[in-house]
Structure 1
Amino acid sequence: MDCYCGSLKTYSNCCQKAHINITDAKTAEQLMRSRYAAFVKADGDYLMASHHASTRPIKEKASIVKWAKYVEWIKLEVLETTKGTETDTQGTVTFQAYFYEKGKVEIIYEKSAFVKENNTWFYLGLSK
């Protein structure tokens, strides 16, 4: 099965690795792609684990999962990556995520900030 993130790899050779062990996301982009795949799968546990503790929306977990199940995910487009390599400790990824909601296509456009701590990448939130 192709990975949900659009990498052209199989899910088992791509985002599933990070879903099993978050440290398998070696770059900010890999973590962002794995988070998109987690939205497609409505995997709230992974979405919380991959979200930095300082900005983690624990109280919204149930509503995030409910929404992720409600919409129909179409595709992810990575538009730009700044830093976020295996040797960096921070980076940004700009992307568009397409989904159907209430009969029409919607697009999330975001420039996300990521930070690496203890060899693990985390999503911080919107980049400033």
Structure 2
Amino acid sequence: MNDCPCSSGKDFTECCGPILNGAPAPTAEALMRSRYSAYATGDMAHLRRSLHPSKRKRFDENKAAQWSADCIWTGLSVLDTADGGPKDTRGEVEFIARFEHDGQPHEMHERGLFSREGAEWFYVQGMQRTADQPKTAKVGRNDPCPCGSGTKHKKCCGR
């Protein structure tokens, strides 16, 4: 058995492997887990492919590959999900990605925003979390969208 890097407890070939090989992720959480596994395995093609098309021009594959290679990926914890199921068009996944860099342990605590278009889930953006923030931030319909688009939430990810 080859444990999946995403800490699901499943074999890689039954968890993130098929998604990294091009199968659509069934849920936002599955895509999040596959993105962590892509960093752990150095699969930059999956990171680019799973990034929302509107965000790809800012993706620096060389920097991401270097950072991925410089880290030892030590685990992922999914703390919360909101929507993101097979019939949803948007979802949020709160997670902690653990890794070592330059011999020091690090954690990245983030609430990732995801969008489904057709059968494909895409990672849109992450919002860094801190220990003193409430677990789930509520966004009003007329508030700016947390994905950073500059439009109201109701006209963007809140649809």
Structure 2 gap segments, 5+ residues each: 128-145, 147-159
TM-score w.r.t. length of structure 1: 0.95
What CA distance in whole angstroms lies between the structure 2 residues aligned with 1:19 and 1:70?
21
Deviation at 1:103, TM superposition (A): 1.6
Structure 1 gap segments, 5+ residues each: none
Aligned twin of 2:47? 47
Q: Kindly provide the CA deviation profile for residues 50-69 of structure 1, in whole angstroms up to 9, marking residues without a partner as x.
A: 00010125551111011101
Aligned twin of 1:117? 117
Structure 1 or 2: more helix by fraction: 1
Pairwise CA RMSD: 1.1
Structure 1 or 2: more strand by fraction: 1
Q: Which amino acid is 1:8 matched to? A: G
What CA distance in whole angstroms lies between the structure 2 residues aligned with 1:59 and 1:37?
18
What CA distance in whole angstroms lies between the structure 2 residues aligned with 1:82 and 1:57?
27
What CA distance in whole angstroms lies between the structure 1 residues aligned with 2:57 and 2:4?
26
Q: Kindly provide the CA deviation profile for residues 7-64 of structure 1, in whole angstroms up to 9, marking residues without a partner as x.
A: 11100001001011241x1000000000000000111111000000101255511110
What CA distance in whole angstroms lies between the structure 1 residues aligned with 2:57 and 2:108?
18
Is contact 2:7–2:75 with CA below 8 Å preserved after alignment?
yes
Name the larger-Rg structure: 2
Please list every run of at least 4 consecutive aligned residues from structure 1 whose deviation after the TM superposition is greater than 6 angstroms.
none
Q: 1:120 to 1:59 in 2, by over 3 A?
A: closer
The equivalences for 1:1-128 within 5 A come to: 1-23=2-24, 25-57=25-57, 59-127=59-127, 128=146
Is contact 1:22–1:120 with CA below 8 Å preserved after alignment?
no
